[in-house]
A and B are shown apart, each in its own frame.
Chain A
Amino acid sequence: MLKYILKRFAWMVLTVWIIITLTFFLMHAIPGDPLDVADVGSSDAASANLAAYYNLDQPLAMQYVTYLKNVVTFDFGPSMTSRSRTVNDMIESGFPASLQLGLATLFFSVISGVVLGVFAALKHNKMIDYLTMILAVIGISIPNFIQSMLFINYIAVNVEFFPIARWGTYRHVILPAIALASGPMAIIARLTRSNMLEVLTQDYIKTAKAKGLSTMKIVVKHALRNALLPVVTIMGALTAAVLTGSFVVERIFSIPGIGQYFVNSISNRDYPMIMATTVIYSTILVVMMFIVDILYGLIDPRIKLHSKED
């Protein structure tokens, strides 16, 4: 097992390195550079100074090597859009809010998605099934920024409990988290439902019934576990997506998260920030995929985790 984890870790590092490399060179391959975007006036001297400050005057290969050296020590460099703050500062100040919001989103979407999916499957072709699936279609089809604005306009404005915007207490988390969660919830609900429907026709469910177990026990112990495997699969990508914040929803609710950096860094040609957001996203993604693989083994004992030589 230790050998497997070490091996996987090596692969994860390799994957992130490949992503860094590709992003780095692709980013530089786009015509123009950050100094064109930044308002530095027409002074050639100023431009030269800035280029030197950001290492942009060096050959690309040298820049790449310098960048890799810094990244290994988790130094993402100075930001090109903020005079005084480094990329590290900006990420550190924004990430907690995005992380909290992301975890709340994950919690809402997984719990409600699985519960709705199970109920729909148990009441297959009955009212609850149809209602759940209608809810799922609504969740998928209404974009979360529309939901955010509807929530603010109809709930936050009328119910004092929910703040209209900004960040701080747990009460600030609920509405944006629900807006972000409804899409993933719908996907999870549909997935859970179809898997449950399939699992419930399996022979071992009949065996469990023949033992005299209650429906609750059959569902929770025998069916759900087998039905959740595909749900766990999408959890990896889903988690990486929600933990790194949302540009739109964070903007609407004025949440100081990192979602904005993913979008703004591109239009600003802010090289260090583009790289930082890419590294963060891909790191979370490969770590989540690793966790998902471990979960597979825990959920289904037939899936063995070890490297081939073992």
Chain B
Amino acid sequence: MSETLLEINDLAVSFSTQGGEVQAVRGVSFAVAPGETVAIVGESGCGKSVTAQSIMRLIPEPPGRIKHGSIHLNGKDLAGLSDKQMRSVRGKQIGMIFQDPMTSLNPTLTVGDQLTEGILTHENISKSEAEKKAVELLNLVGIANPQERLKLYPHQFSGGMRQRIMIAMALMCKPSLLIADEPTTALDVTIQAQIIDLFKEIQKKTGVAIIIITHDLGVVAQIADRINVMYAGEIVESGTVKEIFYEPQHPYTRGLLTSVPRLDGDRSQPLIPIAGTPPDLFSPPEGCAFTSRCKYAMEVCRAYDPAVTHLSDRHFTKCWLQDERAEKPF
């Protein structure tokens, strides 16, 4: 834990809408060490993507606004950077991959053009050198005949191949951090597995740190070193993969894990969902946001926000069940 690549402290992001202020992210803190893979999991609308986009300062402002908190990359506060300085961080120090490869590439420009334009902006190299680099990376992500394919347009590739191209694009400038926002959600299951393997492979080869945002626990189990479980704009539990999968402490984490269908399970049993819906982020509840859906909710949960309890140096959770006075249900 001595080295930190990225450190996020008490980040809060809100969007002002006609109905009022939506508090999408409410005080998120976590750190990423060089070369490690950190997963952010949670259901739709829990603030995963907003967190990721805040790191890149890609939140549209207005209506979005970083209310408070800091984001430090290599010790430098990203909030303090000018727009121009921020542009030299985007693409160069942090690469980003988006959810839908079908729409994330510009249909009117060749793949080669889109691959090289980032590095041509950031580095003082010639077009042919940039193309050489692009060919190298397309090779790395497993695209055959890269030289000829530079001249093709996105619609001439399949979804899986486009996501590979997106990954190559994000890696063009050798970033130290890669943010992958639901990189497998829009893909077929077989392609998903290939992309996950690809992430592991490029991490081994380039040593890039990865923040992977997903709601797919299968993906997380395969790739992540550490997991942050987000609920209603907060991290409710954080720990290593082993800690989260084998010793989940927060009822929400437990709910997520038991809701995963099992291949070896009894087929006659229905799936086990987490009942209810996430709270309205226009006016988040007073106490713990999960109270209304929690099987173990107590009086105190409704009234007071739970404190963070550290279970090991990496494992922490925000839940009243951790209080010594609470009855332990599991």
Contact = CB atoms under 8 A, between A and B. Distances in A.
Contacts of B87: 212-214
B90 A207 contact: no
A208 B105 CA distance: 9
Interface string A206-234: 11111111100100011001100000000
A203 interface: yes
Contact of A222 (B88, B106, B118): B106
Contacts of B109: 221-222, 225
Given A212-B92, A214-B87, A301 B117 contact: no
Contact of B104 (A206, A217, A226): A206
B107 A300 contact: yes
Interface string B92-131: 1001101010011111110000100110011000000000
B121 A299 contact: no
A267 interface: no
A254 to B, nearest CB: 45
B219 interface: no
A25 B111 CA distance: 54
A102 to B, nearest CB: 29
A301 B157 CA distance: 13
Interface in A164-209: 202-204, 206-209
B94 to A, nearest CB: 8
Nearest to B83: A215
Interface residues of B, number: 29
Contacts of B166: 207
Contacts of B89: 212
B56 interface: yes
B129 to A, nearest CB: 17
A120 to B, nearest CB: 17
Contacts of B169: 207, 211
Given A204-B104, A226-B106, A217 B121 contact: yes
B251 interface: no
A302 B155 contact: yes
B91 interface: yes
Report which residue of B88, B90, B153 has the largest number of chain A beta carbons within 10 angstroms of its beta carbon.
Answer: B90
Contacts of B88: 212
Contacts of B108: 225-226, 299-301
Contacts of B104: 203-204, 206-207
A217 B166 CA distance: 19
Contacts of B153: 301-302
Interface residues of A, number: 21
Interface string B131-160: 000000000000000000000010100000
A213 B98 contact: no
Nearest to A301: B153
B58 interface: yes
Contact of A211 (B91, B103, B107): B91
Contacts of B117: 208, 211, 213, 217, 221
B98 A226 contact: no
A208 B107 CA distance: 13
A25 to B, nearest CB: 45
Given A207-B98, A207-B166, A302-B155, A212 B106 contact: no
B106 A211 contact: no
Given A203-B100, A301-B155, A210 B90 contact: yes
B121 A206 contact: no
A300 B107 CA distance: 7
A212 B260 CA distance: 38
A207 B107 CA distance: 12
Given A203-B104, A204-B106, A301-B108, A211 B155 contact: no
A204 B155 contact: no
Nearest to B119: A211
B107 A213 contact: no
A210 B122 contact: no
Contacts of B58: 206, 209-210
B239 to A, nearest CB: 29
Interface in B267-283: none
Contact of A208 (B92, B95, B106, B122): B106
Contacts of B103: 202-204
Contacts of A221: 109, 117
A222 B90 CA distance: 17
Contact of B56 (A203, A210, A222, A299): A210
A211 to B, nearest CB: 4
A10 B95 CA distance: 52
A211 B90 contact: yes
Interface in A226-255: 226
Contacts of B98: 203, 206-207, 210
A72 B287 CA distance: 86
A21 to B, nearest CB: 40
Interface string B15-48: 0000000000000000000000000000000000
Contacts of B155: 301-302
Interface string B152-191: 0101000000000010011000000000000000000000
23 contacts: A203-B103, A204-B105, A204-B106, A206-B58, A207-B96, A207-B98, A207-B104, A207-B106, A210-B56, A210-B91, A210-B95, A211-B117, A211-B118, A211-B169, A212-B89, A212-B121, A212-B122, A214-B121, A217-B121, A225-B108, A225-B109, A226-B106, A301-B107
Interface of A: 202-204, 206-214, 217, 221-222, 225-226, 299-302
Q: Which 5 A-B pairs have the closest CB atoms?
A: A212-B91, A212-B90, A211-B118, A211-B91, A210-B96
Given A226-B107, A301-B107, 14 more contacts: A203-B98, A204-B104, A204-B105, A204-B107, A208-B117, A209-B56, A210-B96, A211-B90, A211-B118, A212-B87, A212-B89, A299-B108, A301-B108, A302-B107
